[in-house]
């Protein structure tokens, strides 16, 4: 969810349970080397050491600052560490005298369940009420892009070419193929791919459909508008424009929103 991290706030106290590992290790030492009591297996220490060693890995595999895929790589390790912390706290509470340990374990479980329920309710409320207003846009979220492509397919026979602005319309070739299904052999024969490692491949054309990052100096912005198609919630959507160029009639498809200009490096 937007403005939410990978870590659950309700699990933060469990993660702090890792600080109790030295206490359990000391108890294990006092129990004797030949005792069956093994509160902190050596595998736990190896796991923690390994987690610290591989921490730079997500940053080395992703480009850009920040990058959401770093969090996706960290999340499984984080979940394991939270589990270890919970187990440590459970064992520490169980070492309290008499019935205090059982009472503390029960109270801690109830508090954790209540915190998770409260946080889940807030996330669900954000998903239903707040997220729809954020999940708009024609590049990343591709809102109403399929419906737009269906309109484009209807206009296409009357034009010599159809040009898409991939700078403001996200991955239009995917929705175009969905709006105008064709046999795989036919689409593969018409599809032209530009390979640009280590970046992802770019589809530059499918038949008379062209995909390019428009240069406003080369393709005018104030072309005659055939249709202005809003997004599903009435936000800025797509423009279908007509461009007469070099004795050709070209259908231009771009977003209503202007692209964000990146600030130059200092």
Six-digit token string for 53: 């060693």
| C-alpha span between 11 and 63 (Å, rounded) | 29
Q: How far is CA 225 from CA 102, 243, 256, in A?
A: 72, 9, 11
Domain map (residue ranges) of the chain: 9-134, 145-255
Q: Are 202 and 213 in contact (CB under 8 A)?
A: no
pLDDT tens digits for the chain (266 residues)? Answer: 666 666 778 888 888 888 888 887 777 677 665 555 456 777 888 888 888 788 777 767 776 666 667 777 777 888 888 888 898 889 888 888 888 989 999 999 999 999 989 988 888 888 887 776 666 666 667 788 899 999 999 999 999 999 999 888 888 999 999 998 888 899 889 999 998 887 788 899 999 999 988 876 578 888 999 999 988 777 788 999 999 988 999 999 999 875 443 333 33
Cβ partners under 8 Å of residue 153, min gap 6: 176, 179, 180
- Specify the pTM: 0.57
Nearest to 250 by CA among 150, 152, 142: 152
Six-digit token string for 231: 């997004």
């Amino acid at each position: 969810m937007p403005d939410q991290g990978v870590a659950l706030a309700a699990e933060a106290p469990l993660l702090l349970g890792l600080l109790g590992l030295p206490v359990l290790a000391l108890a294990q030492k006092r129990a004797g080397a030949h005792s069956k009591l093994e509160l902190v297996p050596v595998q736990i220490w190896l796991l923690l050491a390994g987690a610290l060693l591989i921490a730079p890995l997500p940053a080395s595999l992703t480009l850009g600052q920040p990058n959401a895929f770093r969090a996706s790589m960290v999340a499984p390790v984080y979940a394991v560490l939270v589990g270890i912390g919970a187990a440590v706290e459970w064992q520490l509470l169980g070492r309290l005298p008499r019935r205090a340990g059982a009472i503390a374990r029960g109270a801690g479980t109830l508090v954790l369940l209540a915190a998770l329920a409260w946080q889940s309710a807030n996330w669900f409320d954000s998903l239903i009420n707040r997220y729809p207003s954020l999940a708009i846009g024609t590049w990343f979220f591709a809102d109403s892009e399929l419906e737009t492509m269906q309109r484009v397919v209807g206009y296409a026979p009357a034009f010599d070419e159809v040009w898409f602005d991939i700078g403001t319309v996200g991955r239009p070739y995917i929705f175009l193929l969905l709006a105008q299904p064709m046999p795989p052999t036919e689409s593969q024969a018409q599809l032209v791919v530009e390979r640009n490692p280590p970046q992802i491949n770019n589809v530059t054309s499918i038949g008379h459909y062209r995909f390019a990052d428009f240069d406003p100096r080369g393709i005018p912005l104030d072309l005659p508008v055939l249709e202005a198609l809003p997004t599903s919630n009435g936000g800025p959507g797509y423009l279908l424009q007509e461009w007469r160029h070099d004795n050709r009639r070209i259908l231009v498809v771009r977003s209503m929103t202007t692209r964000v200009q990146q600030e130059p490096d200092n």
